[in-house]
C-alpha cells in the first residue's frame, strides 16, 4: 500500500472501501494482486469475494466506492478503469 505524498500513516486514519460480493471489478483487482504478490496469492488469491484485512466499508458499485473514498479522510479503494476515466481520475 502506498501513502499519499507528504502524508505519514500517523497523519491519516486508514479506511478501506470495497465493492460488494460478486463484483467483476473485485475479481480483476484481486487477480492483479495475485499475479504480482506471492503473499497475496498464498493468503487470498483471485476472487469475487475477498475477506479484506482490517475494517473495510462496503459500497454498491463504482459510484458508491468513489463516494465513500471522497467522504473518508485517508481512505483507499478501487474502481473500474472505465469509471475512473469517466469521473476524471484515470
Contact 78, 29 (CB under 8 A): yes
Grid coordinates of 83 = 469509471
In terms of Cβ atoms closer than 10 Å to its own Cβ (0-12, 13-18, 19+), residue 24 is exposed
Residue 24 lies in a domain: yes
* Total domains present in the chain: 1
Question: The domain containing residue 38 runs over which residues?
Answer: 9-86
Residue 68 lies in a domain: yes
Q: List pLDDT tens digits, range 6-29.
A: 444 444 444 555 556 567 888 888
Q: Tell me the average pLDDT of the chain.
A: 76
**C-alpha–C-alpha distance, residues 51 and 28, integer Å:** 15
Residue 4 lies in a domain: no
Between 8-12, 50-54, 73-77, the lowest mean confidence (pLDDT) is in 8-12
Residue 16 lies in a domain: yes
Grid coordinates of 29 = 483487482
- The CB density around residue 30, as the number of other CB atoms within 10 Å, is 22
Amino acid at each position: 500500500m502506498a501513502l499519499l505524498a507528504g502524508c505519514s500513516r500517523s497523519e491519516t486514519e486508514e479506511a478501506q472501501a470495497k465493492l460488494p460480493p460478486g463484483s467483476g471489478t473485485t475479481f480483476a483487482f484481486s487477480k492483479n494482486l495475485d499475479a504480482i504478490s506471492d503473499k497475496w496469492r498464498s493468503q487470498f488469491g483471485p476472487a469475487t469475494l475477498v475477506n479484506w484485512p482490517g475494517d473495510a466499508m462496503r459500497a454498491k458499485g463504482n459510484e458508491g466506492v468513489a463516494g465513500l473514498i471522497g467522504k473518508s479522510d485517508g481512505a483507499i479503494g478501487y474502481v473500474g478503469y472505465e469509471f475512473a476515466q469517466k469521473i476524471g481520475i484515470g
